[in-house]
Amino acid sequence: MNNKCALLLCLLMLSVITGYAQSKRHNADYYFHSAAKYLVSPGDAVTDSIIKSNIALYTKAIQLDHKFYQAYRNRSREYYQLKLYDKAIADLISAIRYAKPKEKWYLYEMRADIYYEINNFKAAVYDLGFVISVDGNVARAYLKRAKAYWQLNLKDKACNDYSKAFKMDPSVADNKEFLICY
């Protein structure tokens, strides 16, 4: 009888230890939410360190779930803040691959912003065209594409998009910047 009790006690302890160990294991969501708690803007060593830590956490989430498009998206934002544009674009390509169809337009818009930042205006126009095709009422996307067209010296197309943006939302005039459209 003592051997049976000892065996049962050992099995009980093993199951408790195993359960505890499994509860300590973190899943992709854990790492994703750990990083998402600390969204900061770059500028000094402390915030850059937080951004790099977030990148490591998002990377861990991606390693645990390679189709976790939100982790790619957020890691892309972190890379963007550190001006690591190639890595940001690569992550957005992965995010677009795994995202739900209804959420892809926003990822294309994010990528267009990066393309614009690195003066790849043709790619920005292409991605913004996708955004507009999915939701034609996006004044912001029309304004961004107008600016990219302007940079490509396609003034008529730029002014046409600016006009559409202005009709949807007259406040875009506040962000007109260098566009000269009448």
- Reported as half-sphere exposure (CB side, CA atoms, 13 A), residue 49 has a value of 3
Quote the pTM value. 0.76
How far is it, in rounded angstroms, from Cα 173 to Cα 158?
14
- The pLDDT value recorded for residue 42 is 61
Neighbours of 91 (CB within 10 A): 28
**Separation of alpha carbons 114 and 89, rounded Å:** 7
pLDDT at 70: 95
How many residues are listed for the chain in this entry?
Answer: 182
Contact 139, 106 (CB under 8 A): no
**H and E: helices and strands count for the chain:** 9, 0
Return the sign of the alpha-carbon dihedral for residues 74, 75, 81, 83. Answer: negative
Task: Evaluate whether 27-99 and 108-182 have a shared fold.
Answer: yes
Which pLDDT score is estimated for 178?
63
Statement: 27-99 belongs to CATH 2.40.340.10:
no
Q: Indicate the domain borders of the chain.
A: 27-99, 108-182
Residue 16: predicted pLDDT: 37
- pLDDT number for residue 19: 44
pLDDT by residue for the chain (182 residues), tens digit each? 455 544 333 333 434 334 433 433 466 666 666 655 555 556 666 778 888 888 999 999 999 999 999 999 999 999 999 999 999 999 999 999 999 988 899 999 999 999 999 999 999 999 999 999 987 678 999 999 999 998 999 999 988 998 898 889 888 777 777 667 76
Q: Which helix (H) or strand (E) holds 89?
A: helix 85-98
User: What architecture is the 108-182 domain classified under in CATH?
Assistant: Alpha Horseshoe (1.25)
Cα–Cα dist 145/129, whole Å: 8
**Which pairs with CB-CB distance under 8 Å and at least 24 residues apart come from 84-87?**
85/114, 85/117, 85/118
Please give the Cα distance from 75 to 71 (Å, whole number). Answer: 6
Residue 37 structure tokens: 């708690």
